[in-house]
Amino acid sequence: MSDQTAPSPQAQNALQTGIVQLRDVTEAIRVRIRNPAKLRNLELFLLVIAWVLAGGAMVLVQLGALQRVDLFPLQLAAGLGVLTLALHIVLRIVAREADAIILPVATVLNGLGIAMIYRIDIADGLSGWDAASMRQIAWTGIALLVAIAAIVVVRNHRVLARYRYVAMAIAFILLLLPLMPGIGRTVNGATVWIGVGPLSFQPGELAKIALAIFFAGYLMTARDSLSVVGRKVLGVRFPRLRDLGPILVVWAMCMLVLVFQRDLGTSVLYFGLFLVMIYIATGRRSWMVIGVGLVAVGGVAAYFSLGYVQRRVHAWIHAFDPAVYEAQGGSFQIVQGVFGMGHGGLLGTGLGLGRPDITPYANSDYIIPSLGEELGLTGIVAILGLYLILVSRGVRIGFQGPDDFTKLLGVGLAFVIGLQVFIVVGGVTRLIPLTGLTTPFLAAGGSSLLANWLIVALLLRLSDSVRGRGIV
Amino acid sequence: MSELTLIIIRIGFLALLWLFIFIVLYSLRSDLFGPRLTPLQRVAVQSARSRESGAAPAPAAAGADAPTTVTERQGASSASAQATRVVITSGPRSGLELDLPQTGLTIGRSSGSGLQIKDDYTSSNHAKIVRWREQWVVQDLGSTNGTFVEGKRISESTPVQVGSSVRIGTTTFELRR
């Protein structure tokens, strides 16, 4: 063996590639026959249960609140079921190896959300296009169609890495749109809406996806200089001053959102997203130290200079103080939500049988306490479990990703959902101060639905690209 | 509809919700415990393994004379032939695992490389791992900063055993079964 040298690389290659290519092809065919879309069949099975759950929730709402079954809303919901089936069929064709869990879980959450919004509509006596549930059903349809289009159009998500600076520009434009005179709208103090005629939209919801793409693309190229160089202070390696640029820019952007759009939740979400992605990219704890420090500085400054931040903190700490409870913009909403969940107890009052409509914004910001009241602790823990599964699938996809961009994007998108759930649920349960963010898939609101179904589409596309690596 | 039926349906709904979650968790069990093989699959995997070690020398045998190959096949069966994965043990992408395809693996800075290493010490087409006579062999493709097997810079094709370290730039990796 030792006295023989290897044949010249070229000659050996030509021979080997020919034979091995042939073997690869036959292997691929064999795998295709032996493993006929096992993942997709699992997905279909779970999807059927998801339909039963979503439809069952709606029927229960009607039995509880109306004491009869009204077929019309059920037919509309069935239409959405057909659209999720269409998404499933599209996956069978263009993304056979995509994750099987994400779509059914998102369907259950979306269905529960529609049922609860419908329940609040019944309590408020709304019908037709005045009813938030009708609009929610329409937006779900649009969101599903956009998700299908995204999966069909984006065949290779790595192409997105090339458009990272375009994504950044889009994110900035979307963020600034609500500040433009004429189309910007201020609702409840927060300038995060744009409106044309009767239609309104929260562009910040889509901006978070564009930002995740930008961060993933940027960190993919910059991770080495961000992680390797720097000097050590107290055993933690800190980056060079010039490498701090991007994190300061993102921080400044979030502070601008905080000051001019008066939206605490969104700025925390964006900054948290960036922090997590930079930590994943570099594995350096110093970024977390710097980031948390910046949040602390920003938070303290905001508390002392911005009245609405101060009111939020007071309503959080002194929620049960009668003066705060009765004050305008006080803790009435928080306390009602807490009472509602307490009323629900372990098993809940039953769908359609509680009084969640007493709480302001019971169908959007406060949909979690509404569900907590009517489904009880058992139901709310199940819902949190569904979110946990969704986020863990995203992290798992990122973990298995073959390249840095896939990894960062997968984890980043999953983290957006996770952080949003934490901020909302933490806010309504008085763990952290209340901030206005939407509960993914559940809360009434078209922009949020659209953005979250786009995230689902991207995660499905990502998971298809890590094919054959033992998912399920 | 009576009160009792409604209560039963309500509790049934919560039960179904939890059942859904448990079905999902059950279908994700292979994430935790690894895939379970049916007896039939196990036989298939084993026969595939033995077929692989039998069929692999064919390309090399075409280049050299057959008898030596046969004797060597018996001697070298315990060597690196069964390596199926490349694991990066240190460097910026430490912890990464890749499958080692039967075609071999190219390593370098170019985006076409099977294992892409982006640092200042790696050439665009740096090195290559190929299968030759029952063994995985590392070839340096004329890189600037060299390829090191077990700490020694290599100048010609060098066999790599399972578990021995190969260093390129700041990245060290080894072959695993």
Among all chains, which residue has been given the structure tokens 């995509």? A98
- Helix (H) and strand (E) counts for chain A? 17, 5
List, in order, residues 6 or more apart from A228 with CB less than 8 Å away: B92
Q: What is the pLDDT of residue A26?
A: 60
Q: A162 and A148: one domain?
A: no
Out of B7, B19, B103, closest to residue A17 by CB? B103
Contact of B45 with chain A, judged by CB distance below 8 Å, is answered with no
**Could you say which DSSP state residue A177 is in?**
G
Count of structural domains, chain A: 2
Q: A176 and A137: one domain?
A: no
- Residue A229: other Cβ atoms inside 10 A: 11
Q: A191 and A145: one domain?
A: no
Angle in degrees, CA A195, A198, A424, rounded to 5? 60
Pairwise CB contact (< 8 Å): B59 & A15: yes
Q: A149 and A177: one domain?
A: no
Instruction: Check: CB of residue A408 under 8 Å from CB of residue A274.
Output: no
Contact of B156 with chain A, judged by CB distance below 8 Å, is answered with yes
Contact of A380 with chain B, judged by CB distance below 8 Å, is answered with no
Q: A284 and A182: one domain?
A: yes
Pairwise CB contact (< 8 Å): B157 & A13: no
Q: Using a CB-CB distance cutoff of 8 angstroms, which residues of chain B are in contact with residue A471? A: 31
Per-residue pLDDT tens digits for B67-100: 444 334 433 444 556 778 888 887 777 777 888 8
Is there a domain that residue A311 lies in?
A: no
Contact of B54 with chain A, judged by CB distance below 8 Å, is answered with no
Chains A–B, number of C-beta pairs less than 8 Å apart: 126
**B130 bridge partner residues:** B137
Strands B171-176 and B127-132: unpaired
Q: Which of residues 327-366 of A touch B (CB under 8 A)?
A: 347-348, 350-351
Mutant choice from A4, A13, A16 vs B, greatest count of B C-beta within 10 A = A16
Q: Using a CB-CB distance cutoff of 8 angstroms, which residues of chain B are in contact with residue A15? A: 59, 62-63
Give me the tens of pLDDT residue by residue for chain A, a chain 472 residues long. 444 444 455 555 555 555 555 666 665 555 444 455 788 889 999 999 999 999 999 999 999 888 888 888 899 999 999 999 999 999 998 888 888 899 999 999 999 999 999 999 999 888 877 888 999 999 999 999 999 999 999 888 888 888 888 988 898 888 888 887 777 777 766 777 777 766 778 888 888 899 899 889 888 887 777 766 666 666 566 666 666 676 677 778 777 776 777 777 888 888 888 889 888 888 778 778 888 888 888 888 888 887 778 888 888 888 888 888 888 777 888 999 999 999 998 988 988 888 888 888 888 889 999 999 999 999 999 999 999 999 999 998 888 887 889 999 999 999 999 999 999 999 999 998 888 788 999 998 889 999 999 999 999 999 888 764 443 3
Rg over CA atoms, chain A: 25
Is there a domain that residue A52 lies in?
A: yes
**B116 bridge partner residues:** B108
Q: A44 and A184: one domain?
A: no
Q: From CA A212, how far away is CA A272, in angstroms rounded?
A: 11
Instruction: Check: CB of residue B41 under 8 Å from CB of residue A405.
Output: no
Question: What are φ and ψ of residue A233, in 5° steps?
Answer: -130, 125
B67: closest CA of chain A, how far (Å)? 13
User: Of A277, A305, A333, at which residue does a domain stop?
Assistant: A305
Is there a domain that residue A189 lies in?
A: yes
Contact of B61 with chain A, judged by CB distance below 8 Å, is answered with no
Question: What are φ and ψ of residue B147, in 5° steps?
Answer: -120, 135
Contact of B24 with chain A, judged by CB distance below 8 Å, is answered with yes
Instruction: Check: CB of residue B95 under 8 Å from CB of residue B110.
Output: no
Is there a domain that residue A410 lies in?
A: yes
Strands A231-233 and B147-149: unpaired
Q: Which two tokens stand for residue A190?
A: 């927060």
Mutant choice from B2, B10, B119 vs A, greatest count of A C-beta within 10 A = B10
User: Of A305, A339, A356, at which residue does a domain stop?
Assistant: A305
Q: Using a CB-CB distance cutoff of 8 angstroms, which residues of chain B are in contact with residue A100? A: 27
Pairwise CB contact (< 8 Å): B13 & A49: no
Q: Using a CB-CB distance cutoff of 8 angstroms, which residues of chain A are in contact with residue B62? A: 15
B146: closest CA of chain A, how far (Å)? 17
Asked if the interface predicted TM-score (ipTM) of this complex is over 0.95, the answer is no
Pairwise CB contact (< 8 Å): B21 & A386: yes
Q: Which of residues 384-403 of A touch B (CB under 8 A)?
A: 385-386, 389, 396, 402-403
Per-residue pLDDT tens digits for B3-52: 888 889 889 999 999 999 999 999 888 776 766 666 666 676 667 666 65
Q: A147 and A178: one domain?
A: no
pTM: 0.75
Contact of B58 with chain A, judged by CB distance below 8 Å, is answered with yes
Q: A179 and A290: one domain?
A: yes
Contact of A26 with chain B, judged by CB distance below 8 Å, is answered with no
Q: What is the pLDDT of residue A240?
A: 67
Q: A331 and A383: one domain?
A: yes
Query: In what side-by-side order are the strands of the sheet with B135-140?
Result: B115-116, B105-108, B127-132, B135-140, B158-160
Is there a domain that residue A57 lies in?
A: yes
Q: Using a CB-CB distance cutoff of 8 angstroms, which residues of chain A are in contact with residue B13? A: 53, 56-57, 60, 351
Per-residue pLDDT tens digits for B154-175: 888 888 888 888 888 888 888 8
Show the domain range for A299: 158-305
Q: What is the pLDDT of residue B40?
A: 67
Is there a domain that residue A9 lies in?
A: no
Q: A3-14: string of b/e by CB count within 10 Å (b at 16+)?
A: eeebbeeeebbe
Q: What is the pLDDT of residue A114?
A: 95
The alpha carbon of B57 is separated from its chain's Cα centroid by a whole number of angstroms, namely: 20
Question: What are φ and ψ of residue B116, in 5° steps?
Answer: -95, 120
Contact of A299 with chain B, judged by CB distance below 8 Å, is answered with no
A329: closest CA of chain B, how far (Å)? 35
Helices A446-465 and A404-428, axial angle in degrees (round to 10): 140
Widest distance between CA atoms in chain A: 92
Is there a domain that residue A2 lies in?
A: no
Q: B121-130: string of b/e by CB count within 10 Å (b at 16+)?
A: bbbebbbbbb
Q: A256 and A297: one domain?
A: yes
Contact of A6 with chain B, judged by CB distance below 8 Å, is answered with yes
Is there a domain that residue A328 lies in?
A: yes
Pairwise CB contact (< 8 Å): A16 & B104: yes
Q: From CA B89, how far away is CA B9, in angstroms rounded?
A: 55
Q: From CA A119, how far away is CA A117, in angstroms rounded?
A: 5
Which amino acid is it at A306? Answer: L
- Find, in chain B, the residue whose alpha carbon is nearest to that of A35: B41
User: Of A284, A305, A326, at which residue does a domain stop?
Assistant: A305
- Find, in chain B, the residue whose alpha carbon is nearest to that of A388: B21
**Could you say which DSSP state residue B155 is in?**
S
Q: From CA A301, how far away is CA A296, in angstroms rounded?
A: 8
Q: A208 and A223: one domain?
A: yes
Strands B152-153 and B127-132: unpaired
Q: A467 and A329: one domain?
A: yes
Contact of B63 with chain A, judged by CB distance below 8 Å, is answered with yes
